[in-house]
Amino acid sequence: MKKLLSICLVFTAICLGNISAENFNVTTSDTENELDSVTYLLKVTTAFPMGERAVDVAKSGYTFKISKQQLYADLPYLGKSNKAPIGASSTGINVKTKKFSFQSEDVRKNKRVITVKTRSGHQTTFTLEFDPQKIGFGNLKVVDAARLPITFHGTLEVEKTFGK
């Protein structure tokens, strides 16, 4: 009886896996068109500085937001820097710009990557990775020329922006 039950469970799992694989037909052009009408908002819960321990920043309210028109990043920087910033208030990663370029691709069945490069001042690269079938969590990797890379993990929300 236990063997029969386990065989049925395996067969059901295989069938469900095939159904979800057939429904996943998103291409890069679909993603770029989707960014025209969607805004992604990542509410950061954990920061992973390179070579350091993870830091819980859930109660601090740090966010990363991207739409077709604007990029907004209010993130902490907790790693090592190659050059010191001028002024004590500019220690984090604070970006609000309309001058950026992006590339979106589906690297695997369950992974979409949006790479964003800013074009103002020194270049910063943001890489947002998430599962398009299970919107809810995402990872953001920030690479800056003057700092060591840092990765953020948080909850991902999708806002529809029709007519903009």
Considering the domain boundaries, does residue 18 fall inside one?
no
- Is 69 inside a domain boundary? yes
Q: Do the Cβ atoms of 78 and 149 come closer than 8 Å?
A: no
Residue 119 lies in a domain: yes
The predicted model scores a pTM of 0.70
Q: Is 15 a member of any domain?
A: no
pLDDT in tens, the chain (164 residues): 656 545 544 544 554 443 333 333 334 344 455 556 788 888 999 999 988 899 999 988 999 898 888 888 888 888 777 776 666 566 788 888 888 888 888 887 777 788 888 876 666 778 777 765 567 888 888 887 778 888 999 998 888 765 54
Q: Name the pairing type of β-strands 124-130 and 137-144.
A: antiparallel
Answer positive or negative: Cα dihedral of 38, 102, 136, 46: negative
Domain total for the chain?
1
76 is a domain residue? yes
> 130 and 143 in contact (C-beta within 8 Å)?
no
Tell me the CATH number at 42. 2.40.128.410
Alpha-carbon distance of 62 to 52, in angstroms, equals 19
Predicted pLDDT at 47:
92
Q: Is residue 87 in a domain?
A: yes
Q: Is residue 109 part of a domain?
A: yes
- Angle subtended at Cα 110 by Cα 106 and Cα 113, rounded to the nearest 5 degrees: 35
Task: Say what the pLDDT of residue 22 is.
Answer: 33
Question: Is residue 139 domain-resident?
Answer: yes
Yes or no: say if 81 and 149 are a contact pair by the CB < 8 Å rule: no
| Domain that includes residue 150, residue range | 28-160
- For residue 5, the tally of other CB atoms under 10 A from its CB is 9
